[in-house]
Amino acid sequence: MNTTENPWQTLSSKTAYDNNWLTIRHEEVITPAGTPGIYGVVSFKNKAVGIIPIDEEGYTYLVGQYRYPLNEYSWEIPEGGSPVGTDVLESAKRELKEETGLTAERWTKMARIHTSNSATDEEGFIYIAEGLSQGEHAPEETEELMVRKLHLAEAVRMVMASEITDSISMCAILMVARLKGI
């Protein structure tokens, strides 16, 4: 069997739920084992975008906010959504400015990731932002954010201690720490 070919067969697909941010599909399938099954797929209407701003001294910025689905407070890199069909880098620039007040001279795309590929088709992009300038932040009305400046090594420590659990943030922090030799 060629492992790059899709072993699943979709028999039917219907929308079970839909709102401005996501759609949930219920699908009847034939599994790779040839047996009947079901699958639920969450499709997001935005691409996820995460930005790890790094200054010349090796400091970065985290954003803290209460995450409703988790029922807990979360420290993360600046993140947001890029509506499908829009420029992801422009969305990253907008999110960094909104959440931290920072703008950057240099942008580097670090990674394309899938956040939870067993249940969602969500695609995310991670950028490094360098050459930082501070301005005023302007979070969305649904966001109550706290911004924290800390050394990248401290952010790595937080990841390793499970104080940062957001998957995009963990991936970005560890990738940039490796790139910077931390």
For 162-182, the pLDDT digits (tens) are 999 999 999 999 999 999 998
pLDDT band at 4 (very low <50, low <70, confident <90, very high): confident
Phi, psi of 117 (to 5 degrees): -70, 0
Quickly tell me which residue has 């931290």 as its tokens: 100
pLDDT band at 138 (very low <50, low <70, confident <90, very high): confident
- DSSP letters, 26-67, are EEEEE-TTS-EEEEEEEEESEEEEEEEE--TTSEEEEEEEEE
For 86-117, the pLDDT digits (tens) are 999 999 999 999 999 999 999 999 999 998 88
> Which tokens in the block code for residue 157?
């420590």
Rg (CA), the chain: 19
Quickly tell me which residue has 């394309």 as its tokens: 112
